[in-house]
Amino acid sequence: MKVKHSAVVIILALMPVICCSSRVFAVDGFATQNGGTTGGATGTTVTVTNGADFLTYVETEDTPYIIQVSGTIELADADEGRVRIQSNKTIRGIGENPTIIGSLGFKNDCSNVIIEGITITCPEDYTSEEDGISVKDRITNVFITKCTIYDCWDGCIDIARQSDWVTVSWCKFYFTTPNDNSDRVSLVGNTDSPGDEGTLHVTFHHNWFGQYCMQRIPSVRYGRAHVYNNYYNCPGDIYCVWSRIQAECLIENNYFKDVFDPYVNNRDGAPVEEWGLIAASGNILDNCTGTAHPGTDTVFTPPYAFTLDSTEEIPAIVQYGAGADGQEGDPPHWFYGQYGDFDLSGLVDANDLESFVGYWLATENIDDADYYDNGRVDFSEFSLFAENYMFIPSDTTPPAAPADLWALGQNAQAPLDWADNNTEEDFAGYNVYRSTSSGSGYAKLNASLLTVSDYTDGSAVNGTMYYYVVTAVDTNNNESGYSVEACAVPDPVSDSIIIQESATGFCISGDIQGIESEHSGYTGSGYANTYNETGRGVDYSVNIVTAGTYTFTFRYAGTSDRPADLIINSTTEVSGIAFTSTGEWYIWSTVSVPVTLTAGAKTVRLESTTSDGCANIDYLKIEGPAPEIAACP
């Protein structure tokens, strides 16, 4: 496969943490409107090293300050984990790894604030707000740039309640582990109720949305969001950009890699007149699944000047520059390939030699050649250039992960099947992995690469739930990421399939609030939570090979009785299934019903009959002569 950005990960690992002292970033995006954003530019510069001093300066009413953050500041020492920033402040990190632990809030109706060059985290129960940055209640003209924001319990940056004219740029977002609050990034507009119309103008550009960012990237109600040149690399997400009620999202030249639902506007079943609008162009969807809106809506025109970077270059540009430790300027040429390939032709050749000679022994303006960052291009770089001369780099790009994996539980075995969708020229085969824990602990089952898209696990033990994933491998031994997970419980009595949330056969719809993991005791990665309304439901897709009687078993939890109908191919097969209260959300039970089915493809829906919606559904298990999981239509 084609080599793309192969050097980025290696170089990032070697990149030193830089000092952010004296860096000043140009305000852009929507933060330039409404008179502009200058922060504390006209005020005194102070340096703070503890929460008490930080609180004093940021909460001083109206007085402009440039507040330099040095070291780690615990806001628990200041005001129970949260501060309320007043107008005309610049909060700037200096020195090595400036960090704030807690929530940066704002005094209602304040304006003109810049936050730059800081690492911010807000752990669970650290403060009542639990956002990293909480821009709420008529806050205007805020510029947030070059920050690393991670492990914030409720949201990394939330912008709501008539706040306006905000830019979020060159920031890095991630979570070190999945949390029980669904790893939310940025909520713009926090309620469906009216009140935010005409506000919430927000620009997101050149941000890096990384590990375990699951949703709200951003989620927008009523606002006008310009989302451009961002890098999305957060496999396992629920969705990325969601344009919701009366919102308009302009989504341009973003690079989406290995994500689900890159940009959507209908996840909650709202009437079509309440769907948000999306105009999308120039985006790259690299190994993405789910839905991407056509992007053909008419939306706002940005009132400010901006320049779009090439989408192909976004992974390198953003990973090089985003975050509190991000570098300034353009990435050097080797971020895109080999050292010495100055013209980015894919080969170090005679055309590059002239460029290298121009840098030889130079000490100024040499960033694009000074690989070892010692202020001089000398024999160290020459040896790299010579080593790469006329060298064709090996393929380091893995194939796409296999799609539509499903598993069948049989007596002491579990047959697996998946889509035969790997069409890469250098595709070599598949590996199958198994675990007894969802999402971790996988062990490879096959001794050699499989050349067909099915496999039978003959070492399975009856009564044990197994979790399976499959990878694809190419001829250069590049291995893809894991496929979606499938699970099975071998049983000596009848064949069975289990359909987990977010797996093949589970059909995402607007009836589902989210795939959640807040309450313990579930299997798989979580459970489906529908909206609390009559007629909301959970949908599945299966294929029945042999007509007969099948048992449908739902594993569920709920604190009230929540009856539901089982509807198959639009016909109600079982009415009022009794999903009785389990007492607590973390106490799980099962309910089973028999259904006589003809052979063929089936759409299966569990639909609520009361305003409480469905119980939380952990999985659907179907037992009978020959059930199969099918991809959703």
**For the whole model, what pTM was predicted?**
0.68
Radius of gyration of the chain (CA): 27
Question: What confidence score (pLDDT) does residue 4 get?
Answer: 31
Question: For 8-321, CATH number?
Answer: 2.160.20.10
User: What kind of architecture, by CATH, is found in domain 406-493?
Assistant: Sandwich (2.60)
Over 80: is that where the pLDDT of 267 sits? no
- Write down the pLDDT at residue 481: 86
Mean pLDDT of the chain: 92
* Per-residue model confidence as pLDDT tens digits over 107-121: 999 999 999 999 999
**Segment 283-298 mean pLDDT:** 91
pLDDT at 441: 86
Contact 177, 154 (CB under 8 A): no
Over the stretch 422-439, which tens digit does the pLDDT of each residue have?
A: 999 999 999 999 999 887
Per-residue pLDDT at 78? 78
- Which pLDDT tens digit goes with each residue over 562-605? 999 999 999 999 999 999 999 999 999 999 999 999 999 999 99
For residue 416, the model assigns a pLDDT of: 97
Counting residues of the chain whose pLDDT is more than 70, the rounded percentage is 95
- Give the type of residue at 222: Y
Whole-number pLDDT of residue 7:
37
DSSP letter at 29?
G
Give the model's pLDDT for residue 270.
66
Least confident piece of the model among 1-15, 67-81, 266-280: 1-15
pLDDT at 372 (0 to 100): 92
* Among candidate residues 175, 156, 286, 177, the one with its CA nearest the CA of residue 219: 156
- Three-class DSSP category at 229: coil
Helices 379-388, 350-359: inter-axial angle, 10-degree rounding: 170
Residue/partner pairs of 580-585 with CB below 8 Å, 24 or more apart:
582/556, 582/557, 582/558, 582/615, 583/559, 584/519, 584/557, 584/559, 585/518, 585/519, 585/557, 585/558, 585/559, 585/616
pLDDT at 1: 28
Whether the Cβ atoms of residue 67 and residue 54 lie closer than 8 Å to each other: yes
Q: Domain locations in the chain? A: 8-321, 338-387, 406-493, 506-629
Residues written for the chain: 633
Asked if residue 72 lies in contact with residue 102, where contact means CB atoms within 8 angstroms, the answer is no
Quote the pLDDT of residue 179: 73
Q: Which CATH class is domain 506-629?
A: mainly beta
**Mean pLDDT for the stretch of residues 113-142:** 95
Statement: residue 408 has pLDDT above 90: yes
Report pLDDT digits (tens) over 471-523. 999 998 999 988 989 999 999 989 999 999 878 999 988 888 878 877 889 99
Whether pLDDT at 3 is above 70: no
pLDDT digits (tens, 9 = 90+) for 170-185: 999 999 987 777 689 9
pLDDT at 24: 60
- Is residue 71 classed as helix, strand or coil in its secondary structure? strand
* Whether pLDDT at 20 is above 70: no
Positions marked active-site? 216
pLDDT at 23: 53
Q: What is the CATH number of domain 338-387?
A: 1.10.1330
What is the structure's pLDDT at 61?
Answer: 95
